[in-house]
Structure 1
Amino acid sequence: MLRDDIKAATISSMKAGDKERTATLRLIGAKIKDRDIELRTSSKDVDDEALVIDVLQKMAKQRRESITMFEDGGRTELAAKEKGELAVIEEYLPSQLDEAATAAAIEAVKADIGADGMKDMGKVMAELKSRHGAELDMSKASGLVKAALS
């Protein structure tokens, strides 16, 4: 399981003395624990693997946005730190579909649910997320769905 892999990697990076990697892995573990605490009061049952992947995707998105802002602001040292964290986070994310595979997935969903216009965008996005949620960047997919439906 992904959660166990992250815990094992944290221990091995601590033993190796890799402070930056250890800090990032501890941050991932803390975010996962935060989400566990949030879900204690929820009545929904969430697959553990899906929960960890969702946390990792959100962390990766935050890092990408921060990198862009830091680079635009001329703070290359902070951007480099965020890039290092992003690299560690992406090690545990499932591989993402490329643009051609994403377009093919969108076309398949469109055909399956009979989507023919922008009014069906929500349905297409929901079905895409249920089928390919872990392997798709939904923000990029949103633009491709708009283009496919217009």
Structure 2
Amino acid sequence: MRTLNQARCREARLVIQSGPVYMLAIARRGMTQIEQEAIASAALPPTHKLSSDRAALLRELGFGKRGGGRRNWRREHGRDENSVERGAVEIVDVLTRVYGVEEHAEVRIELIEDDIDHPENPELIAAMRKVAKGWDES
């Protein structure tokens, strides 16, 4: 998490994955927060679906869903040293208590540094999808 926080690229993503379960931590240049993302139950195989109690635990830890549905759980925390440390500890907590990743399970960690600008505008993307669905190629 410290390496992620200190990355100098436009966007750095830390991927933490065990089997079908993954979490992301995303740091963007110029932003004061690190975004954390936890996989949505809808994207998991039946054996890994979240119970309502486990989803409630994610909410207790500050995760929410923008737009609901199949979207991943998200939250933000600060980039100061204490927040970064707490964020790392809480990722381990979420993986074990929420998703049931066992203590000695194989975990893959990858830091992806990206200097390409990826504009995020959900309203524009939704409008483009709506237009694309109604597109008549004749």
Q: Which of the pair is proportionally richer in helix? A: 1
Larger Rg: 1
TM-score norm. by structure 2 comes to: 0.24
State the structure with bigger RCO (CA 8 A, min sep 6), 1 or 2.
2
TM-score norm. by structure 1 comes to: 0.23
Q: Which of the pair is proportionally richer in strand? A: 2
